[in-house]
């Protein structure tokens, strides 16, 4: 599995914006990736040094929709979120710095 298969996209929310100044970044990652693979992928893609990685699986939400045939119920997909801390010596990730 390549680094670009592991890191799917950055997770951009109000809470994640607040932590960018602390060199703490949030990504949506492959659900089967472990912390070591995520650390190696971030270091390879962004050329930074990772201090710590925390992961959690976010459960999908139930969605209801009224149609002319009655009510239909579905679910959004589960996904894995990784919170990545960079070392103090590491340079910040340029993509996130342009958002501040």
- pLDDT score recorded for residue 100: 61
Q: Measured at the alpha carbon of residue 25, what is the angle toward residues 86 and 38, in degrees to the nearest 5?
A: 75
In this predicted model, what pLDDT tens digit does every residue of 34-69 receive, in sequence order? 999 999 999 999 999 999 999 999 999 999 988 888
Question: Residue 97 pLDDT > 90, yes or no?
Answer: no
> Is domain 3-87 in CATH 1.10.540.10, yes or no?
no
Judged by DSSP in three states, 95 sits in helix
Question: Residue 28 pLDDT > 70, yes or no?
Answer: yes
C-alpha radius of gyration, the chain, whole number: 16
Please report where in the chains the tokens 């710095």 appear, as a residue.
97
């Amino acid at each position: 599995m390549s680094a670009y298969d592991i890191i799917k996209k950055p997770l951009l929310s109000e809470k994640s914006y607040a932590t960018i100044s602390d060199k703490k970044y949030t990504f949506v990652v492959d659900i089967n990736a472990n912390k070591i693979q995520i650390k190696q992928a971030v270091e390879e893609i962004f050329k930074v040094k990772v201090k710590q990685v925390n992961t959690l699986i976010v459960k999908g939400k139930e969605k209801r929709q009224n149609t002319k045939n009655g009510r239909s119920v579905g679910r959004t997909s589960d996904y894995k979120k990784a919170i990545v801390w960079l070392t103090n010596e590491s340079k910040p990730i340029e993509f996130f710095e342009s958002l501040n």
